[in-house]
Chains A and B, each alone.
Chain A
């Protein structure tokens, strides 16, 4: 009874557009869904460093290397903002990271694809960060205060990611025939996985209804995907690149770029662990965690020694 009244009050607050803060009463489902979403999002930022990190040592110029380093470092920061937001819901970051390292946690499918050429770095910034921005701009309005604030912080930084990517793409697209071929090949490989980033169709997305009702999300997967396609197609055409979709056509009545069907078998295959790089990504994460152990030990030893001194003083 009591809970039913509280739930009504909670939903009324959401309807009025109020933000929910960590100490406020919230239904267990809301808390669980947020922990799931925010931690998956944090893991995605962290695992997302791997495909791009792969190219830092091989960037074609010092400028490109500086930029890529800064971008990858930003993604680490995004992971930390999000773990920090998740912790306000009563989970430990430690716990979440263990789940990731043990292979029990999900992260965005897109990072299970390989980065084969330098053009992939441009296309990732343009398409993958571009898709992330569409999603995150929506999440910046999320009903959970700490999530929304982390998203606002992230969105401010993401525009640089997208622009540096598009700059690489545009440069290669007007370069030598080989460069142009290389960047078109990267677009061909990354286009469909980028569309999959928005998740299954609304009709196949079991969590959507609840997340929308509680304004954790304010737009559906399909709405966001359409928005991304509408923004991106003209950007491709502006630099003379084609989108690998024979069904793509503009509908002047709706103003939408209509596109073909996504290969959902591939989507589910990669989610279940059989993407091209799932195992490699987890191996690299575990290795990084183990190799960082000495840093954690040293910091703890230093703090213990200091702590002792200040207590004596």
Chain B
């Protein structure tokens, strides 16, 4: 038996950094967020991600990214930040009229 002091235990129990896991399920499909894992480095993060998110053997590829390295929009960006995309209906093909009977594609 090894008896450790509380301080020693705390030293070894320090939480490892968080990594976000992205997986590709099918050939040609995009990588999708699956969840997260804790790991001391990228290599172990990949191994942990495999053990946690690929137990059914259907995955083609896994990405791990340090969670701290991700910059994301915030929900309050919802309005102004995305506005430039919302008010340009002329970017959609339905905006344009085509003479009846003409096949475009």
A306 on the B face (CB < 8 A): yes
The residues of B that contact A23 with a CB separation of less than 8 Å are 72, 74-75
**Number of contacts between A and B (CB, 8 Å)?**
64
Q: Which one of B9-17, B84-92, B95-103 is at the interface?
A: B9-17
A302 on the B face (CB < 8 A): yes
Per a CB cutoff under 8 Å, which of B18, B41, B72 touches A303? B41
The residues of A that contact B14 with a CB separation of less than 8 Å are 94, 300
Instruction: Name the residue of chain B whose CB is nearest to the CB of A98.
Output: B13
**Minimal beta-carbon separation of A76 from chain B (angstroms):** 8
A87 touching B51, Cβ below 8 Å: no
Within 8 A of B (CB), among A290-312: 290, 293, 296-297, 299-300, 302-304, 306-307
The residues of B that contact A199 with a CB separation of less than 8 Å are none
B52 on the A face (CB < 8 A): yes
The residues of A that contact B13 with a CB separation of less than 8 Å are 94, 293, 296
Within 8 A of B (CB), among A218-277: none
Per a CB cutoff under 8 Å, which of A94, A153, A293, A302 touches B4? A293
Instruction: Name the residue of chain B whose CB is nearest to the CB of A77.
Output: B52
A11 on the B face (CB < 8 A): no
Q: A80-B52, A81-B52, A84-B35 given as contacts; is B15 within 8 A of A94 (CB)?
A: yes
A85-B35, A92-B15 known; 6 other A-B pairs, CB under 8 Å?
A25-B75, A80-B35, A84-B36, A94-B14, A293-B4, A293-B12
Interface residues, chain B, CB within 8 Å of chain A?
4, 9, 12-16, 18, 34-41, 43-44, 51-53, 55-56, 72, 74-75
Interface residues, chain A, CB within 8 Å of chain B?
21, 23-25, 70, 73-74, 77, 80-81, 84-85, 87, 92-94, 149-150, 153, 157, 290, 293, 296-297, 299-300, 302-304, 306-307
